[in-house]
A and B are shown apart, each in its own frame.
Chain A
Amino acid sequence: MNVIEAIGLGKRYGSTWALRGCALAIPAGHVAALVGPNGAGKTTLLNLAVGLTAPTEGTVTVLDGRPAGSPAALDGIAFVAQDAPLYKSLSVADMLHLTRNLNRRFDQSYAAARLGQLGIPMRRRAGNLSGGQQAQLALTLALARRPRLLVLDEPMAMLDPLARHDFMAAVMAAVADGDVSVVLSSHVLAELERVADYLVLITSGSVQVAGEVDDLLASHRVLTGPAAEADSYAQRLDVVNARRGGAQAHLLVRTNGRSGPVPPGWEEHPVSLEELALAYLREPGAGALPGPTRARGAEPMEVTNWQR
């Protein structure tokens, strides 16, 4: 089952396309990271997925085919928007009651226990909590709804390192506990490496890279060798990004499953997620998209393979 599926998805604001021709199929049971520069379209994509916005073209469905924004979709998705919006004048207990009454499912005991563990007092006004506490409260409310999919839009932008750690720990614990998939957007790569097992890279309103982290890391390598030979190898190999010194060059290469022998005089290294993401972000023309039969109902996609 795909938790988010998009076919030809596009959203236009005025004359600008925030998102165009977006195709996506994020499978369930993963923690998917949506990564991209500011303004790339991450928030737009998430808003479309949770039904806050309607597409200009294309379709987006969630949780195995439910139309985004439909009652069935709203029921199964919990969303924490940027800056964790809450009713600032309500107390924490009031927010719990409100969320409980606005949803079918609400695990009151879980929410109360979690807030107790976090040391968030029930009677305090939500507006008087610290930024980290507000984020944790919003997360608690979302998790207490026991959603199938948890969507987080830059949840940690305003948090200090400890608060960030606690927040992510809570999300990961929820994933470990139950049947929750997570889609979260961020522009901080380093923190995602420990957390994400599915990566979606969005640049300039379209999906550049999408796939399981393990697959992506296994199918890319860095080859280091003499700069003079770099060009000739670049012809034969699928190079995503090249960096050169005077005598030495690093080629980030997509192996496409073929692990051929390393050319003599060259070394190969495995690639980290951050390095891989940065390389693709530097090369907007390159892409790594999943193969056929991923998106239901869509035409089989080719593995796009633009060279510079």
Chain B
Amino acid sequence: MATLTTVQPAQDAGLRPVPWRRMTWITWRQHRLALAGVIALLGVAAAYLLITGLPMHQAYGAVSACRPAGSGVCQQAANDFLDTYAPGVGVTLGVFQVIPALIGAFAGAPLLAREFETGTFRYTWTQGFGRARWALAKIAPLAVAVAVAGGAFTLLVSWYMQPIFGAGDHNGPLYPTLFDFLGVALAAWMLAAFAIGVLAGVLVRRVIPAIFATLAAWAGLAFVTGIFLRQHYEAPLVTSSPSIPASAWVISQGWFRGGNPASLDMINQTLRPVDVQAVTPELFQPGPAAPATFGDPVKYLIQHGYTQLTTYQPASRFWPFQWIEGGWLLALSLLLIAATVWLVRRRAT
């Protein structure tokens, strides 16, 4: 016969330390499906990189072994290599852009939202532990796991990109779809997505809407960062030379004449004598009456008083930019997580 005896009151001294392992395990058990999905997603992506990366590395072996290095033949070999593989890599990484968002959303959003949806917060929030510690004990292990997974995947991507960079791709590591998969950026973006997801979960309190909210917010942030913010981490360099340093990230390029921007019409007017049409400031279409020995339209325009100004970020700024972006993403993540814990504390039913 089991009775509640009054023998043990002295034993309950002090709150037990945060049961990280138990909470991690509980979180896993509770969100098994979502976490399994995350792992599957990363696994599939990793497998794809391996499958396509190995033949690429093999092909690159021939290119890098070419002697004499820098000669026309070897240069051609490198260009051929890039023509074959670079487009596929670009598409792959373009598709992979959604991975951090998905992971953050599916790992982060259900974490707290599920508790509200199923009503189990009525159980957990009334335990002696208190809600803030509980929330933190749920968030912290997953945050670390997500960041670590991001770091590991970055290593794989770096390996994958080696041949492309080695062959001298004109898109350097600062290029938008490449930058956020290299260095510390991926881990930081995945952590940020997770933090956004967790906050969305506590604000929205329903799993599916929270997931969508997370994806939307993350997409917005990534877009703004890639298009507007990142180029200003350090003041971009401007050059009028037509040859731009290798692997630089070209932000904008434009024609100027006499200190003012030159319109497309102006350019076309100048080019009419040689029957070349400027479709865009970078793309030139020679017409039927163009002289056979006409060379580079760019040089022609420069000879006729035009200046091409290129705004760019050199590849040497890759790591400083990584630390900057990683830094503010980390700060943002911590802020969002702190806000989540604060909201959990404050929130009433």
Tell me the smallest distance from the CB of A158 to a CB of chain B, in Å. Answer: 13
Q: Does A145 contact B (CB under 8 A)?
A: yes
Cross-chain contact of B122 among A81, A90, A104 (Cβ < 8 A): A81
Cross-chain contact of A87 among B15, B120, B134 (Cβ < 8 A): B120
Interface segment among A48-56, A193-201, A221-229, A290-298: the answer is A48-56
Q: Write the A164-186 contact mask toward B (1 if CB under 8 angstroms, else 0).
A: 00000000001001110000000
Q: Which residues of chain B are near A79, meaning CB under 8 Å?
A: 122-123, 126
Tell me the smallest distance from the CB of A76 to a CB of chain B, in Å. Answer: 8
Q: Does A61 contact B (CB under 8 A)?
A: no
Cross-chain contact of B4 among A52, A77, A101, A174 (Cβ < 8 A): A174
Interface segment among B22-30, B187-195, B216-224, B266-274: the answer is B22-30
Among residues 73 to 111 in chain B, which have CB atoms less than 8 Å away from a CB atom of chain A? none
Tell me the smallest distance from the CB of A150 to a CB of chain B, in Å. Answer: 11
Q: Which residues of chain A are near B348, meaning CB under 8 Å?
A: 52-54
Q: Could you tell me the dominant secondary structure of chain B's interface residues?
A: loop
Query: Who on chain B is nearest to A51 by CB?
Result: B126
Q: Does B291 contact A (CB under 8 A)?
A: no
Q: Does A191 contact B (CB under 8 A)?
A: no
Among residues 201 to 238 in chain A, which have CB atoms less than 8 Å away from a CB atom of chain B? none
Q: Write the A236-269 contact mask toward B (1 if CB under 8 angstroms, else 0).
A: 0000000000000000000000000000000000
CA of A113 to CA of B349, assembled, Å: 35
Cross-chain contact of B30 among A47, A89, A114 (Cβ < 8 A): A89
Interface segment among A28-36, A92-100, A275-283, A300-308: the answer is A92-100
Are A74 and B126 in contact, CB atoms less than 8 angstroms apart?
Answer: yes
Tell me the smallest distance from the CB of B92 to a CB of chain A, in Å. Answer: 36
CA of A177 to CA of B5, assembled, Å: 7
Cross-chain contact of A107 among B4, B23, B118 (Cβ < 8 A): B4
Q: Write the A61-84 contact mask toward B (1 if CB under 8 angstroms, else 0).
A: 000000000010011011101010
Q: Does B8 contact A (CB under 8 A)?
A: yes
6 tightest CB-CB pairs across the interface, nearest first? Answer: A113-B2, A81-B122, A102-B127, A101-B19, A103-B128, A105-B12
Taking beta carbons and an 8 Å cutoff, which residues of B are in contact with A? 2-6, 8, 11-16, 19, 22-23, 26, 29-30, 32, 118-130, 134, 348-349
